[in-house]
Structure 1
């Protein structure tokens, strides 16, 4: 059984036209008219493939092919985009799932387990909150900050509770996704077999100095908070790199106070984000950083600790076996980005597969994956479904 890459790629392009603006990209935010048009297109594709469809109370689109067992193999990703995004992120995982079902049906394959293809809503978090749809699906708690945003779209906690599914009714979850990074592209590796999703740690850092007149205060008498901050951030990057080369450390937001051109900075606030295989390793970096600079006016406050996601070893082994049978090279790796698999892994045994993103670019109009890589990824997904179904 072979997937039809021309058909799948056309589906990706057709969905990518919804919410697309020339020289800008795709903006298909959850609960918008563009999003609803996208759901209609995907729902029609599901039904044409023989799936029975419904939309749950928070907007997740589910297509189901019945089987003899009561435990479903679920496949999915998300249908929303970031503002001015690309056409592959999220949508590929849903459309590839539909293509797999089409091929099974065309070849007269009788599936033992029901197969569900899920298009989760609001994964990107630009409207209500990140991975909102899969949180509702799996029963992962919703953040308090999401509730007022839900209400703007006619949703409440009753909607959330009604969307929750029974984990006893699921055998596993598979998600095919573009890498959104450059590792596979740079190493010319066609497949990433994902071991897990990184843990994320964020701290708000404050560095205190002394504001003073910029013209009349000699350099040797200054306590410049920004100068100290620059030294601290450089050292933080060194600590992180020495701890683990695969950990990423980012300072992407900074406020300099009082913020006047002729006043020495008296205070700097910035956000530190660490992503790594283990949240404990992230904390060890922060502890060392604080020890080195606590006497220089550094104050730290934790604002996020999102535990790492470990994916299912047995399903990973199944995917690896399929790669070997297909004679395709693969690389075991962690995902540096969040996905609906974070929530699904708490709900049912889950695994992910990556295909290359050209130049490592995503969340952009120039985001692209080649048809040949999409074909390999979708075929691997199909073969894995069949192996798991047996």
Structure 2
């Protein structure tokens, strides 16, 4: 049994065209007009594939076919985009789920478990908050900032509560996704079995120096906060490499005071983001950094600590077995990006599958995955469903 790759790709292109602007990309942000148009299109595809559909209180779309067992094999991802994004991020996982179920139906397959395809809303977090839809679905607590925003979109706490499902009803959750990085392409490996999703820690570092005249203060008499901060940033990157080579360290925000060209910087604030599968290693790196730099002139404040997500071991092994049986090379790899699987893994056994991203580019009009890679990944998803049916 094989999926229809041409049909899948045509669906992806059609959905990708909703919200598309030439030379910019696809903008289909949650709760926008283009988002609702895209969701209507996906709902239509679900119904064409023989599924009953529903939209919950926060806007998650679910397509369902019943089975002999009421327990549900769920497949999904999201259909919202970042501004000027690509057409594959999230959409592939939803449309691949529909294609897999449509293939089962066309082949007269009688499913034992009930099956659902879920198109989560607001995964990207540019409107209300990241992975908002899957948090509501899985009953994960929402941030205070999210609760302040939802009324602007016609929702309240009851909307969230009514969207929560019972984990007892679910057998598992599967998510097929583009890698959004360049590891698979660089290693010429067609499939990544996700071992887990990086945890994230963010810190604000404040470095005090001494503002003074840029011309009359000799270099040996300066206390330049920016020079000190630059040395600290480079050292933080080296520490991360020493502690865990897979850890990422990013400084994407920096503020210099007084911020004028002819005054030596007197204070610098910068934000450090660390991502890793082992939060203990993040703490080790931060402790080492603090031992080397903390003083009355340097302070470090943590403002985010999001734990890592582990994929279900049995499901990972089953995905690996599917690859081996079909003679498809694969690697186990972490996901550096967040996904709806973060919340679903707290709710039901969860697994993720990656296909390559051309040039490792995502969240861009240049985002691309090859049709044959999407077809291969969707066939593996179909094979995974068939194996789960026997468990």
TM-score, scaled relative to structure 1: 0.99
Residue 261 of structure 1: aligned partner: 261
Residues 1:45 and 2:37 are matched in the alignment:
no
Residues 1:344 and 2:371 are matched in the alignment:
no
Residues 1:246 and 2:243 are matched in the alignment:
no
CA distance in 1, matches of 2:70, 2:295: 61
Q: Describe the superposition over 1:11-48 as per-residue Cα deviations: whole angstroms up to 9, x where unpaired.
A: 00000000000000000000000000000000000000
Residue 283 of structure 1: aligned partner: 283
- Give yes or no for contact 2:274–2:282 (8 Å, CA) kept in 1: yes
Matched residue SS, 1:38: helix
CA distance in 1, matches of 2:72, 2:389: 9
- Give yes or no for contact 1:215–1:262 (8 Å, CA) kept in 2: yes
Matched residue SS, 1:318: helix
Residue 84 of structure 2: aligned partner: 84
CA distance in 1, matches of 2:158, 2:58: 10
1:310-329 equivalent positions in 2, closer than 5 A: 310-329=310-329
Residue 56 of structure 1: aligned partner: 56
- Give yes or no for contact 2:294–2:300 (8 Å, CA) kept in 1: no
- Cα drift, residue 219 of structure 1: 1.2
Residue 169 of structure 2: aligned partner: 169
CA distance in 2, matches of 1:219, 1:246: 38
- Give yes or no for contact 2:240–2:248 (8 Å, CA) kept in 1: yes
1:129-168 equivalent positions in 2, closer than 5 A: 129-168=129-168
Residue 301 of structure 1: aligned partner: 301
Residue 375 of structure 2: aligned partner: 375
Q: Describe the superposition over 1:78-97 as per-residue Cα deviations: whole angstroms up to 9, x where unpaired.
A: 01000000000000000000
CA distance in 1, matches of 2:283, 2:297: 20
- Cα drift, residue 296 of structure 1: 7.5
CA distance in 1, matches of 2:320, 2:280: 28
CA distance in 1, matches of 2:161, 2:284: 37
Residue 226 of structure 2: aligned partner: 226
CA distance in 2, matches of 1:298, 1:105: 63
Q: Describe the superposition over 1:223-253 as per-residue Cα deviations: whole angstroms up to 9, x where unpaired.
A: 1000001111111111111111111000010
Residue 24 of structure 1: aligned partner: 24
- Give yes or no for contact 1:78–1:120 (8 Å, CA) kept in 2: yes
- Give yes or no for contact 1:137–1:165 (8 Å, CA) kept in 2: yes
Residues 1:110 and 2:110 are matched in the alignment:
yes
Q: Describe the superposition over 1:303-357 as per-residue Cα deviations: whole angstroms up to 9, x where unpaired.
A: 1000000010001111111111111000000000000000000000000000000
CA distance in 2, matches of 1:216, 1:321: 70
Unaligned runs of 5+ in 1: none
Q: Describe the superposition over 1:275-303 as per-residue Cα deviations: whole angstroms up to 9, x where unpaired.
A: 00111111110110111111372210001
- Give yes or no for contact 1:77–1:118 (8 Å, CA) kept in 2: yes
- Give yes or no for contact 1:290–1:298 (8 Å, CA) kept in 2: no
CA distance in 2, matches of 1:385, 1:162: 28
CA distance in 1, matches of 2:297, 2:316: 47
CA distance in 2, matches of 1:194, 1:386: 20
Residue 194 of structure 1: aligned partner: 194
TM-score, scaled relative to structure 2: 0.99
Residue 365 of structure 2: aligned partner: 365
- Cα drift, residue 148 of structure 1: 2.0
Give runs of ≥4 in structure 1 deviating > 3 Å: none
Residues 1:94 and 2:100 are matched in the alignment:
no
CA distance in 1, matches of 2:335, 2:76: 16
Q: Describe the superposition over 1:110-135 as per-residue Cα deviations: whole angstroms up to 9, x where unpaired.
A: 10000000000000000000000000
